[in-house]
Amino acid sequence: MNCQLCGPYEATGSFAALGRAAIPSNDRKYLSAHTRQRSAQNVRTIVDTRDWREMVEAHRGTTVGQKIRLLVEHIARNSTSLGEVVRLRPEFDYPLIDGESPVELERLIWHLQEAGTFETNGTMECILTVRAWQDLEGSSGKPQPGRVFVAMWFDKSMDSAYTEGFEKAITDCHLDPDRIDKIFPRDKICDRILAEIRMAQIVIADFTGFRSGVFFEAGFAKGIGREVIWTCRKDHFAQLSRHFDTRQYPHIKWTDPQDLREQLCDRIRATTGTTV
């Protein structure tokens, strides 16, 4: 399937039978945002009746700052050289920023022109300024395709969850796992954690044990536009909201390492659009 708002995507037979008309109108723009942003990054998206709601929720409630970030990153991704013009069509391109309407995209473009981020000459043809390139590269870096950062509780009780669950699910999907204490076990790692998150394509945040560092790392990853997969051992999930409410995000609730491996593998493949 393909349209100018949604971009190309695939739908399972059950979702095709359901039809977009059955989706609440307020949710359709967020589903369009999901498929359009994936296609803009050359990621194949498969929409199914089992996961379309999670796709919607991933794009609901985006802040203005995050929308600006999405817009600047889109211009950067489509600029093959300094000073290249990227033309935007607000009537079709507002899903690229989780936008509510074309007007919102237009206002952000004018704002970024006044702020010195874009040169537009009063049109929708945008050029990213040198200062904007410097800010972009300094704040987020460039993610490395296939790299997965795992934020979790560093406790011996979680060793098998990592080796038999997280690590195997990631390698099953032909991606590279990255857990900070495995790479820098004796170093001061605060700054290194942020650098590793910047380089990750996907961040997996497991809230078993309610570690404050995991909340911070997940928030930092979301703030710089990284894809976050949320997980928690099932017996800890009921207490999670007492520490910090993350219920607005779809969590994998796992029981043992094998269950974690299977569910996480499915989620990674759904996130990356891969089937092997």
Together in a domain, 52 and 79: no
pTM: 0.54
Q: What is the pLDDT of residues 248-273, one digit of tens each?
A: 788 999 999 999 999 999 999 988 87
Amino acid at 141: G
| Residue 187, CA distances (Å) to 114, 180, 192, 221 in order | 43, 10, 9, 22
| Residue at a domain's end among 139, 170, 189 | 139
Evaluate if residue 1 carries a pLDDT over 60: yes
Find the mean pLDDT for residues 19-46. Answer: 83
HSE-up of residue 220 (Cα within 13 Å, Cβ side): 22
- Show the tokens assigned to 164: 């038999």
Share of the chain above pLDDT 90, in %: 37
CATH of the domain at 156: 3.40.50.450
Distance from C-alpha of 218 to C-alpha of 239, rounded to nearest angstrom? 18
Together in a domain, 180 and 231: yes
Together in a domain, 49 and 14: yes
Together in a domain, 130 and 247: no
The range of the structural domain enclosing residue 80 comes to 68-139
Pairwise pLDDT comparison (5 vs 136), residue with the higher score: 5
Together in a domain, 105 and 126: yes
| 3 within domain boundaries | no
Closest CA relative to residue 92, chosen from 84, 82, 101? 101
Evaluate if residue 189 carries a pLDDT over 80: no
| Residue at a domain's end among 118, 139, 160 | 139
| 216 within domain boundaries | yes
Together in a domain, 18 and 127: no
| 239 within domain boundaries | yes
Together in a domain, 112 and 163: no
Q: Where is mean pLDDT largest: 5-14, 97-106, 217-226?
A: 97-106
| 4 within domain boundaries | no
Together in a domain, 259 and 151: yes
DSSP string, 18-70: H-GGGS-HHHHHHHHHHHHHHHHTT---EE-TTTHHHHHHTTTT--HHHHHHH
Pairwise pLDDT comparison (203 vs 61), residue with the higher score: 203
Distance from C-alpha of 52 to C-alpha of 54, rounded to nearest angstrom? 5
HSE-up of residue 138 (Cα within 13 Å, Cβ side): 6
Q: How many domains does the chain have?
A: 3
For residue 47, what pLDDT is reported?
A: 85
| 63 within domain boundaries | no
**CB–CB of 70/225 below 8 Å?**
yes
